[in-house]
Each structure stands twice: as C-alpha cells, then as structure tokens.
Structure 1
Amino acid sequence: MMATLPLIADDETQHWLRHATQPFMPSQPHRRHFGPEYVAGSSDGDRGPWLEQSRNELDRAAHAAVAALTGGLSPTSVALAFMDWMLHMTVAPGKLVQLGTQATLASADMLRNALRASVAHPEMEGAHEDPRFTDDAWAAWPFHAYRDGFLQVQQWWQSATTGVSGVERHHEQLVRFLARQWLDACSPSNFVATNPVVQHAAWSSGGANFVQGALHWLDDLRELVEGYASGRPAAARCATWRPGRDVAITPGKIVWRNALCELLQYAPATATVAREPILIVPSWIMKYYILDLQPHDSLIRYLVDAGYTVYTISWRNPGAAFRDVGLEAYLQEGLLAALAQVRRRHDERVHMVGYCLGGTLLAIAAAALFRDGRGDELKTLTLLAAQTDFTEPGELELFIDASELAALDASMWRQGYLDGSQMSAAFQLLNARDLIWSRLMSEYLLGRRSKPNDLMAWNADTTRLPYRMHSEYLTSLFLDNDLAEGRYGAGGRAVALSDIEAPMFVVGTERDHVSPWRSVYKLHLLTHNELTFLLTAGGHNAGIVSEPGHAGRYYRCALRSPGEPYRSCQEFVAGIEPVEGSWWPRWSAWLRGHSDGEVTARNLVDGLGDAPGTYVFER
C-alpha cells in the first residue's frame, strides 16, 4: 500500500500548493474566513491584522476544544433547539391537551396488551413494517407488549416534535432527530431481556451466539485500536478489497496528473465508439471507484462495453498541507483542467457526468463556461444525485447552521482537514437504526458477522477534505445557498445556472439521505434547457450503482422540453408510470441519441501508469 500523499515533497506539488492557496475574494465572503483589514477602533493600523488574527485563533481554539468533547456537534445549537421547542410548547395548550390525551390512550393500550398473555390481539399498525420487529417471535407474549409500547412511545414523540406553532423549522427537525436517536438506542430489539430473536438464538445454540458476539467485539476493538495507532481507522475486514485487484479493475491508463487529481482513460472494448468522449467527475468526498467496483456492477465498465470512450477524475486524498486549497482550485485545476486534457486528445465536445458534489461542481463549471462563451465545449451534462439548490438538503440540514459550522470549522482548523472517519460517523448517525443499532444487535447479540462486499469496502475507504474547501462549500452552498441564488463566484464572477444550454440528464434516488430527490428536482426551477429527469429506486449509492439484472429496481423518467411549463414533484410521481429494471440502459440510449455518430476506437498509448492510478491508494 502506498504511503499517504506520496508526491507531497515534489517541487511541482509544492509550487502548485503555493499557487493554489493564494488568497482570493469570493463574491460573498464569510466573516469567519475574511475579516476586516483593520480592527474597528484600533489606533494603530499596523496592529489591526495581528489583533484580528489573534482573536480569531483564540475563538477557534475555544470552539475546537468544545467540538473535541462533543464529537463535532455544537451544544449551543442543540440547546437553542430544545429551548425553542419547550418555550413554544408551554404556550400551546391545545397541543399539550392533544399529547396528554394521546399518552393516556397509549398507556391504556399498553396495559391492556400486557395483560393479554394468551389471547390473540391485532398487530399494531406499522409494526411489521419496522425491520427491527419483522420476526414472528415478536407476536408472542410479553414481547408484543414491549414492541407495541415502544412503537406507541415513538409515535407520541413524533407528535410532540411536529407541528408546534412558532418553532423554527430547523429547531423542530433537530429536536425530532435527537428524540429519534434516543428512542432508537432504547429499542427493545437492542437488549437480550426484551428481544425474543436473541433469546431463541441463545436457547438453540446453547449460548454460542454470545461467545461468537464477544469474539466479534474483541476483533472490532483490536481493529479500532490498531487503526488509530496507525493513523488509518478503517475496517480491516474491508481492506481485503484492494483497488486494481478486486475492485476498480476496468483496464485503463493514467493519461494526465497534477497535484490535485489524476485523469484516467479506459481502454476501448468495441471496434467503434461514440464520437464524443465521456468525462466523469466524482465527488471529492469519495474514491472514484464507486463507479468501477466489480465488472458486473461497474458503471464505467458498462459504458466502455456500450461503445463509449470514458475518462474519469481520481481526486487526491489531501493532508494537512492542502488546508488552504479552496473550491476554486478544485474547479480550475481539477475539473476544467481535466476537461482541457480530454478535448486536447479528441478535439470534440464532451459528455460530462458528475456524481454527488462532483455534479454540483460540474453545474458550476458548465454555468461558467456558458457565461464565458465556451459552452460549445460541452455536448451534454449528466448529474447523478447532485444538488444545486440546498434549501432542502435532507437530514444533513440538521448539522448545518451557523453554530454547527463554527464548531466544525474550528475542528478542521486544528488539523487542516476533515478526516474521513469524522464524516463517516456523521452519516452513520443519520441512519443510526440500521447502521449502528441493528448491526450491533446482529453481530454482538446474535453472533452473525456481516460479509463485506465491494460497496462496503468502498465505503470504508474514506477520504479527507481540505479545511478551506470544506468550509467554503458548507458555507456558500449549504448554508447560504449562493449557487441557486446567483451569488456564487467562479473565476472572479458570479455564475447563473440559467445560462446552461446543453441538454441535461438528471438522476435522483428515492431513498437518498444525502441528496434528497426533491431537492435534486429543483433544478427544473433554475434552468430552462432540455432536461430529462429520472427517479430510480434505491439510496444515494445503491440507487446509482444499479446494474441491469439487479432485483427490485425500477425508475420513472420524463423529459422537460425548453419552454415547457413546470411540473411539480407530486405531478411527476403521479403522472409517470414506473419502468422495471435498471436505469443504465435508458441513460445509455439518451447519450447515444445526443452523440454525432461513431468513430473508430483508438488504442491507448502508454501513459503515466495503469488504472486505477496512484492517488486512489492514498489513505
């Protein structure tokens, strides 16, 4: 395995870092990053910048100390949310009466069910839909009483944290989220004494499940200690999936590299290919090979086999030396520099594809190119689970307010980057029921070890994010929504998504917690070009990695022609019938329909090395 940032000592990289981290002024600078030139009231202008810097460093040190104790969460944000909710609850007598009545009726139901030791009773509505209680053993006494009582308490808290007049929406969501975390931790499925499935496993195995679970716990503890001691706290069980051997094995070459990214080109698999090449821009918060796992579920392999010339960007995994590299560098030295390399090799317009935040960056780049009269470099744009309007970013919004960002900013400032394990912990917290509690019950109480797969291995291969870049996109995109509102600057000037004229293919996924599809759909309001929107089954990752033959997949797809009236999300779902199967063939046909014929495929020449490149191995 390669060492972290193997080229960081190169003179070329050091020169690039000095260039990329030069100060620049975005269109709407945030006060945390760009303070006044002089401190107001200072009698000595020469001391102003020094005093301002000292004050900022002292404030950040205090925030960082608090963030270290709270795991990066802002206790101020949590306290304000609960205070807002409680104070408005005290002046909502109607709501209090409703909750009191609901609690009384629920208590009566729980007592009645607890006394029904042998009499059949109707199953509580929604009980069998909860994956924690699907086993038939939960229908037996007294476990049905535990289950139904828990679900009734859960429903009560849902009512208590919804619809309280006057509570700020963000505060209401945060209180509801924290209440759900507490309830998920207290679920009867998490404890031996209240879980019939665990008790049955213990009885049938003579307690072997507990022995096996203890061994799993010891293995995980050893991996955790060894991981943090080595500076790489990733799951060792997933480390057996090595890029270039088990995943990311589509043949290709590194055709260009700079200090920020590598450009990979894949070997053709057909005698002829579409005239225009495809350039994929993955998010910088993930390794690119989410789109090139194993041959059967590799989107890149699928495109190559379908007769396309495919390129992808592989971002570097930055360390502390990259702390001042900002979004502008990722745009200019990453995406646009890679696009220039592809066009130099083909002299054709390019099908551009962006995934997650890579799609957001692609939308910014496309708007800048059309603004500058260079839109003819792009043939089409495809955005996969990518937001451009961040007013409704889903449950990630829970961690995005001024107080929370101040805590995160201070935490990153101390180390120069956001560590991948920190980001992974935040995503696990959003879906703690499935990713934490259900896993602990299965592995430690039932003694079952989940078998790692390629997607799990990719998920464990985390990346870091430079301090400046992460702060900028959280503030400008998520908090201030500058891109959708026309304030975001690229190349020193503001960009507008309405300038984009290239045809778009936009994909949302039904169960996306990172880029909710209704938020992705808002691109209809920001553009007027030809836009094909496709909604597919699955989540943020599994919905995109949805190869033909994958069971249970379906999608809806509709075209918005230029000048066509807006159709709401509800109208889209109600008016479009689902199509069974993978969305990949539909997209491939769309790309082919927007290509200008075919040309003879050209074999790859020797480049800077073989795919998957070198940056993908940086840990």
Structure 2
Amino acid sequence: MTTEDRTTHRADAGWHAMMAQFTGGLSPAALITAYVDWYIHLLASPDKLSELIKLGVSDIADIDPAEDPRFADPSWAGFPYNVMAQGFLGAQNWWDAATCGLRGVDPKHANIVHFAARQWLDMFSPANFALTNPQVQDRTRKEAGQNLIRGARYWIEDFNRLLSKHPRRPSSYVVGEDLATTPGDVVMRNRLVELIRYRPTTEKVHPEPILIVPAWIMKYYILDLTSERSLVAYLRDQGFEVFILSWKNPDEDDADLSMQDYVDLGIRAAIAQIRSMGAKKLHAVGYCLGGTLLAIAASALARDGDKALATMSLLASQVDFSEPGELGLFINESQVAFLEDMMQTKGYLKADQMAGAFQLLRSNDLIWSRVIRHYLLGERTHDNPLMAWNADATRMPAKMHSEYLRHLFLENDLAKGRFEVDGASVALTDIRCPVYSVGTETDHVSPWQSVYRFGLLADTDVTFSLTNGGHNGGILSEPGHEGRHFRTSHKTEAHSHVTAQTWFDRTRPKDGSWWPHWAKWLAAHSARPVDCRPISAKPLDAAPGRYVFG
C-alpha cells in the first residue's frame, strides 16, 4: 500500500469513526443497501402493492391493544387512547406485511428492512409521549407535574454524563465488596489474563478441576455476581476445585492481539498452569464467546492428541454462526469494514460503540420503557447487581475482534472446519470428550436454536439443556430461583438428529434450576474425590485480582 493510499485510508477511518458517534456503531451503508433492494422489488410487485392498499384501508377496530405489553394497562382501553393504540398497531401490522413475503428480495435484506421499520415505528408509539400516554397523564395530575420536572432533571443528568468520559450512572455495588466476593487467589497472570483459583470449602474435591472461560467482552464476575447468585461458589460447594479466567481490558497497546493470542495466553496458559499444580485432566466450561473460544481450543487440543479435557461445557455459546439470530442483521461486509475503520483510530472497539446494536434488539425493554419510566414518570430504576455488572463495560482489541467477525460470523469457518490454530485448521468433529451444552429460551445474543446445532456438528456424546430466561438471567438460574424450569436430553452418535423445534416439542420441562443437573453430570464424569491440592507458590493477589478493575 502506498503512502497516498494509507493517508486516504486514515481519512476514511476517521470519517467512519465520526459517523459512528451518531449511528451507535452501525453502518448506514448496510441499511441503505437493504432498503434499495426491498424498495425496487416492491415497486415491481403489483400484487403485493394491491394487498398493501387493501390492508391500509381495512378496519382496525378488531385489534386488541391489550395484547401488546405497552398498552396492557386498563387506562388504554378508554377513548381516545384505545384509538391511538389501535392506529399504531394497525400501522405496525401494515409495515410487517410490507417488509415480509416479498419475492426476489435477499432474505437478509428483507430482515434488515423489517427490523428497521419496526424500530422506527417503536419510536413513535403513543406510549412514548406524555400527551398520548394515559398512565403518564394520570401521574402528572396526581403529582401536579413533579414527575415531569424530575424526569427533565434525570434527562439533563444522563445527557451530561453521556458527554463525559463516564456515560453510565455510578453504582452502589462495589467489585470486591458487594460483587465478586467468593474467596480465591490469583495464581497466574500474563499480559492478557489472570487465573483465579477459588478456595475449596469441602474436605475433598474431585481430582478434575473446573476451568471457566468467560467471554472477553464482559467482566468475569457475571459468574460470581453475589454470594446468592455465584455459579463459581455453587460449583465449589459441590466438591470441585474451580478456576476462572479474568480477561484484561485491552487498550491501544493490545491492538495486535489476535484470536491465536487469546487461545495461547488465555486457555492454553491456564490449562498449563492447572496441570503444573498436579491436575491430569480438567472440566472446561465456556460462557458466551468464551464457549466459542473454548470450542476452538478444544478442537486444537483434540487435533494434536492432547487429552487434557475430561469434559467440555458450553453455556449460551455458538459454534455455528449460520443462524446467529437478530444480531446477525448487523454483521455483514459493510458493517465489519465500518467497525475495522472505527477500531483503527484507537486500536480497540469500545463497548458502547456496539451498544446500539444490542439495545436495538430489545428496544422496547432497553430503550423506550426506560424513557417512559425515567423521563415521563420520573422514576429511577433501582440499582441491582446485574445492572452494575452490565455497566462495567470492556473493550475489544482491533485485530482479534476483526478476526472474530470475519472468520466466525461472516465466513463461519469454525463450523466448516476452516478455522486455523497454529497455522492448521481445526474441526469440531475431533472433540471426543463428553459435552454439556446450555441454551436459554429468550436469548437475543446466542439464540438457543443456534446453540443446539452443536449436537449436529459433534461426533461425541452431547447433553443439551434449555432453560427459561435470557442470555444472562437464564444462566444465572441458581437453585431456589422462582419460576425456573429447563428441558434436557442426551444424544450419542447412535441417535438420529432432530430439529430444534421437534426437540422442543418432544422434551418436557422440569421445574427448578439446571445447575444441580449439570453438577450431577460433572460428578458422573469425574473420578472419586481426593484431598485438596496445596498451592505450591505464593498467590499473586487475592480474588478478584487486578484486571477486573481495568
């Protein structure tokens, strides 16, 4: 590349980075391309246009607003609010019809336009405005407008904070005091990870320790949230020696870290450290993208004949990205190139630069319901541990994130046996250890149907469990948590494959948490408990370590 080309590219990157401040990190070119494809095909479809004209003049009186959570309050049943809600839902139905079932349109483009139209409509829901929301008007009358004054003050606070270096509201929960409090020690540290060992509470432990690999886009303590909601503490109390990786929050100096580095400095380094402490085999657990990375590392271990893993557990983790769910709408060549230019300016991707995509997936829950509650009703959401963790954002190094998006999301190399570790491809079919895979019913990040596909790609025994809840709440499903249930089944090589929906229909739910079922499965694949291993070297720090504060 010439000097002139590099200068031009720097200008492009700077321009795209500036644009990203207004688009939430989303590429406008991707949306425009999808819209043009849809619009041209719509103009060339007279039958579809006729259908839409008829739908546009149809009676909306039969629409029941109460079926939509936004209009479920009884106050929406009275005039004129019922007419407003019916008109809005009628427009929503019209756009649903206009953006679906149009022959010739690229299916991904059709999904993008449908999604964008729904987001645009949601913005203008009558529930979002004080003059058209009967609940807000009732509150305003009762409080003589004080709710709107508080809401205006909250908006100013949030706007000023958005312009500052600390866009999130400060939390009353403190890491190391209220969160991530399970006693443990940092037994290894390198430029990318700390390895934390939790102190056993049982006289004996299974000889196979558990190594947990969280996603690198989140702080590890989602799995050690509080004393009541700690997965690591639960496993520890079941007689397991538990280790977890705490990823460093990367900065400019880490721009060149690659997926290979995350395998080597993360999972491989942790396995080597645990083995040096006397363990011959271990149970490996990956959560979200940590599970994807673990599957890559496990495939490489299997390819090389290394039988370090007694089992592998994948929690809300995808290995096949052919059906990534709604998040896949935001990942295409245009979007990846846009993100790469954004990352070039600083060497990493800030968490809030992709926050727009995640919030849009659940805009009514994550955006508009908060607008109504905070700025119209004048109520602040009470702080809680999960919100505090969610606000503790992390960054992603440019090279690694680009490789992840291109090789996994765009090209699906892992599922197709093309992903390379150490310069040679790896294959999921090489994995021979038993696998426990968990999906969550309302997961917008790792749709359970995609998680379920691991059983189709594997040549080993797979136990699949599906729990109710979302990406985080479904995994944090501790025993005693009310309203929890899960489905589970076991598949060997001898079993015929069934589709996800068929599996769901055939498998009856069981009440309670999936944690005890998993712990029993881990124990069944473990040897008889032995005395706890002593720590030969002085720990580097007490848990939660240093990297969690970065």
Q: TM-score, normalised by structure 1?
A: 0.86
Distance across 1 between alignment mates of 2:345 and 2:470 = 33
Aligned match for 2:411, one of 475, 480, 486: 480
Please state how far the C-alpha of 1:346 moved relative to its aligned partner.
2.5
Aligned match for 1:337, one of 269, 272, 278: 269
Distance across 2 between alignment mates of 1:76 and 1:216 = 34
Aligned match for 1:457, one of 365, 388, 394: 388
Aligned match for 1:72, one of 15, 19, 25: 25
Q: Secondary structure at the match of 1:533?
A: strand
Cross-structure match for 1:566 = 497
Q: Secondary structure at the match of 1:296?
A: coil
Is the 1:68–1:411 contact (alpha carbons within 8 Å) kept by the matching residues of 2? no
Cross-structure match for 1:32 = none
**Residue 436 of structure 2 aligns to which amino acid in structure 1?**
F
Farther off after superposition, 322-331 or 604-613: 604-613
Please state how far the C-alpha of 1:397 moved relative to its aligned partner.
1.0
Is the 1:233–1:421 contact (alpha carbons within 8 Å) kept by the matching residues of 2? no
Is the 2:24–2:354 contact (alpha carbons within 8 Å) kept by the matching residues of 1? no
**Residue 351 of structure 1 aligns to which amino acid in structure 2?**
H
Distance across 2 between alignment mates of 1:442 and 1:68 = 25
Cross-structure match for 1:247 = 179
Aligned match for 1:524, one of 455, 458, 471: 455
Cross-structure match for 1:212 = 150
Q: Secondary structure at the match of 1:232?
A: coil
Aligned match for 1:506, one of 400, 419, 437: 437
Please state how far the C-alpha of 1:429 moved relative to its aligned partner.
2.1
Aligned match for 1:270, one of 202, 210, 215: 202
Aligned match for 1:435, one of 354, 366, 370: 366
Distance across 2 between alignment mates of 1:506 and 1:70 = 35
Distance across 1 between alignment mates of 2:353 and 2:8 = 27
Cross-structure match for 2:167 = 233
Is the 1:383–1:506 contact (alpha carbons within 8 Å) kept by the matching residues of 2? yes
Cross-structure match for 2:218 = 286
**C-alpha distance after superposition, 1:551-607 (max 9, x if no partner):** 211110000012311111111111110011111111111111111111122465740
**C-alpha distance after superposition, 1:183-236 (max 9, x if no partner):** 1100000011111111111112222211222232233234334xx2xx333321
Distance 1:69 1:425, change over 3 A: closer
Please state how far the C-alpha of 1:69 moved relative to its aligned partner.
4.9
Q: Secondary structure at the match of 1:369?
A: helix
Is the 1:268–1:309 contact (alpha carbons within 8 Å) kept by the matching residues of 2? yes
Distance across 2 between alignment mates of 1:480 and 1:504 = 25
Cross-structure match for 1:155 = 93
Distance across 2 between alignment mates of 1:52 and 1:370 = 43
Aligned match for 1:141, one of 63, 76, 79: 79
Please state how far the C-alpha of 1:141 moved relative to its aligned partner.
1.0
**C-alpha distance after superposition, 1:95-139 (max 9, x if no partner):** 11111111111xx33xxx5xxxxxxxx7x34x3342211211111
Aligned match for 1:104, one of 57, 62, 83: 57
**Residue 104 of structure 2 aligns to which amino acid in structure 1?**
G
Distance across 2 between alignment mates of 1:64 and 1:241 = 33
Answering whether residue 234 of structure 2 is matched by residue 302 of structure 1, we say: yes
Please state how far the C-alpha of 1:410 moved relative to its aligned partner.
0.4
Cross-structure match for 1:615 = 547
Q: TM-score, normalised by structure 2?
A: 0.97
Q: Secondary structure at the match of 1:613?
A: coil
Distance across 1 between alignment mates of 2:94 and 2:202 = 60
Q: Secondary structure at the match of 1:607?
A: coil
Q: Secondary structure at the match of 1:141?
A: coil
Distance 1:515 1:490, change over 3 A: same
Cross-structure match for 2:129 = 191
Aligned match for 1:446, one of 369, 374, 377: 377
Q: Secondary structure at the match of 1:302?
A: helix
Q: Secondary structure at the match of 2:521?
A: helix
Please state how far the C-alpha of 1:513 moved relative to its aligned partner.
0.7
Distance across 2 between alignment mates of 1:77 and 1:264 = 42
Distance across 1 between alignment mates of 2:229 and 2:7 = 52
Aligned match for 1:179, one of 117, 122, 126: 117
Q: Secondary structure at the match of 1:79?
A: helix
Distance 1:143 1:292, change over 3 A: same
What is the RMSD of the two structures over their aligned residues, measured on CA atoms? Answer: 1.6
Distance across 2 between alignment mates of 1:218 and 1:66 = 24
Is the 1:274–1:309 contact (alpha carbons within 8 Å) kept by the matching residues of 2? yes
Distance across 2 between alignment mates of 1:191 and 1:168 = 36
| Rg larger for | 1
Structure 1 residues 254-265: aligned runs within 5 Å: 254-265=186-197
Is the 1:513–1:540 contact (alpha carbons within 8 Å) kept by the matching residues of 2? yes
Please state how far the C-alpha of 1:447 moved relative to its aligned partner.
1.1
Cross-structure match for 1:3 = none
Distance across 1 between alignment mates of 2:181 and 2:23 = 41
Is the 1:264–1:611 contact (alpha carbons within 8 Å) kept by the matching residues of 2? yes
Please state how far the C-alpha of 1:424 moved relative to its aligned partner.
2.5
**Residue 69 of structure 2 aligns to which amino acid in structure 1?**
P
Distance across 2 between alignment mates of 1:66 and 1:214 = 28
Is the 1:509–1:543 contact (alpha carbons within 8 Å) kept by the matching residues of 2? yes
Aligned match for 2:279, one of 347, 350, 361: 347
Cross-structure match for 1:397 = 328
Is the 1:268–1:603 contact (alpha carbons within 8 Å) kept by the matching residues of 2? no
Cross-structure match for 1:38 = none
Is the 1:143–1:194 contact (alpha carbons within 8 Å) kept by the matching residues of 2? yes
Residue-pair matches, total: 549
Q: Percent same amino acid at aligned positions? A: 48
Please state how far the C-alpha of 1:61 moved relative to its aligned partner.
4.2
**C-alpha distance after superposition, 1:81-102 (max 9, x if no partner):** 1110011111222211111111
Farther off after superposition, 286-295 or 394-403: 394-403
Distance across 1 between alignment mates of 2:21 and 2:221 = 32
Structure 1 residues 40-55: aligned runs within 5 Å: 53=6
Q: Secondary structure at the match of 2:493?
A: coil
Is the 2:197–2:243 contact (alpha carbons within 8 Å) kept by the matching residues of 1? yes
Distance across 2 between alignment mates of 1:439 and 1:578 = 33
Aligned match for 2:309, one of 372, 378, 389: 378
Distance across 2 between alignment mates of 1:438 and 1:592 = 43
Cross-structure match for 2:481 = 550
Cross-structure match for 1:35 = none
Gaps of 5+ in 1: 1-47, 114-121
Cross-structure match for 1:28 = none
Answering whether residue 47 of structure 2 is matched by residue 94 of structure 1, we say: yes
Q: Secondary structure at the match of 1:440?
A: helix
**C-alpha distance after superposition, 1:140-185 (max 9, x if no partner):** 1111111111111111111111110011011111111111111110
Structure 1 residues 1-40: aligned runs within 5 Å: none
**C-alpha distance after superposition, 1:328-375 (max 9, x if no partner):** 10011111111111111133210000001100000000100010010x
**Residue 299 of structure 1 aligns to which amino acid in structure 2?**
L
Cross-structure match for 2:162 = 224
Distance across 2 between alignment mates of 1:160 and 1:292 = 46
Distance across 2 between alignment mates of 1:338 and 1:569 = 34
Is the 1:63–1:406 contact (alpha carbons within 8 Å) kept by the matching residues of 2? no
Is the 2:25–2:356 contact (alpha carbons within 8 Å) kept by the matching residues of 1? no
Is the 2:463–2:488 contact (alpha carbons within 8 Å) kept by the matching residues of 1? yes
